[in-house]
Amino acid sequence: MTTIKGPAIFLAQFMGDEPPFDNLKSACKWAANLGYVGVQIPSWDVRCIDLKKAAESKEYADELRETVESCGMKITELSTHLQGQLVAVHPAYDTMFDGFAPKSVKGNPKARTRWAIEQLKLAARASKNLGLKAHATFSGALMWHTVYPWPQRPAGLVEDAFKELARRWLPILNAFDKAGVDVCYEIHPGEDLHDGVTFERFWEATGCHTRCNMLYDPSHFVLQQLDYKQYIDFYHSFIKMFHVKDAEFNPTGKSGVYGGYQSWVDRPGRFRSPGDGQVDFKTIFSKLSQYGYDGWAVLEWECCIKHPEQGAAEGAPFIKKHIIRVTEKAFDDFASAGKNPKLNQSILGI
């Protein structure tokens, strides 16, 4: 068993143009004052990091790490959620996802995909330069538009989709393998990797690549009505990252899992700040500790009701309270008779 590291915070939802969120150092000082000891960095946000420079310059990477550590923090992981999304985009989503891309590749899906793949390869090298062991991303999606099978999916469509998705990701996975870093896909609706079965299909399509792993976020499973606790029993060996995010699901006679195209605040399934939703974090922290998860517990704040700064302030003590200092001895060791083979034989009657 292993004691989980934390509390840490993902900066993506907090960075902005106003202090203290307008640069990495001031954001880290703000987070440290709240009680966080780790920070997950969005690699697309130039206020936090120059990804290309971090990949190409060990000196710059060291300076970045020292900047964070000067605030009493550690870098937990880099994230390429936005770039990873662009590795695989169905044409139906081209216009909306172009917003994640630089002007130079907007309106050019093939160039956009090449750019995204190169971004992930940069993230592999940057992670290595920063001394990191895991990386957060999205898989992208080629067939999310077929998630509800009407009209009926043609035979072989699913297999072909995962084969193509794996083809695009294999060079990236190999780059991360060379860097000694695990790729952790956030299992998330809207991605082709959105539950356990789809992760398994993708993993098998990659040839069971050893760098193909998971970012576990229970909130997405609440909204899918998936057993997020048993999920850990099935996939704990793949879970290398953990987002602490709460959610609730309150279906009505008018709306359920699909949400009726309503805003987040009106949907039956919605994200909440930790402790405000329905996620059983006591069991989650217990299971992850039991299975030897040695990564970070990272707050990802997303709530349609609470202010982000209140959510962040409450998040650090919430995570700290749930982290279990694992025991190094059994609770009944005081009653041990010690190791005695002859005694054991006598008890067994042999």
* CA triple 232-131-38, angle to 5 deg: 60
pTM of the model: 0.95
pLDDT the model gives residue 330: 78
120-148: b (≥16 Cβ within 10 Å) or e: bbbbbbbbbbbebebbbbbbbbbbbebee
Mean pLDDT in residue range 134-161: 97
Q: Which of 49, 107, 119 is nearest to 80 (CA)?
A: 119
Mean pLDDT in residue range 224-243: 98
CB atoms within 10 A of CB 269: 22
pLDDT the model gives residue 9: 98
Domain that holds residue 91: 5-348
Q: How many domains does the chain have?
A: 1
26, burial (CB in 10 Å: exposed 0-12, middle 13-18, buried 19+): middle
Confidence band of 335 (pLDDT split at 50, 70, 90): low
Mean pLDDT in residue range 121-128: 98
Which CATH number fits the domain that encloses residue 164?
A: 3.20.20.150
Q: Which of 200, 201, 193, 253 is nearest to 224 (CA)?
A: 193
- How does pLDDT run across 239-281, given as a tens digit for each residue? 999 999 999 999 999 999 999 999 999 999 999 999 999 999 9
Mean pLDDT in residue range 81-98: 97
- Backbone dihedral angles phi then psi of residue 86, each to the nearest 5 degrees: -85, -5
pLDDT at 336 over 80: no
- How does pLDDT run across 35-45, given as a tens digit for each residue? 999 999 999 99
- How does pLDDT run across 92-102, given as a tens digit for each residue? 999 999 999 99
State the average pLDDT for the chain.
Answer: 97
pLDDT at 8 over 80: yes
pLDDT at 348 over 70: yes
pLDDT at 105 over 80: yes
pLDDT the model gives residue 312: 98
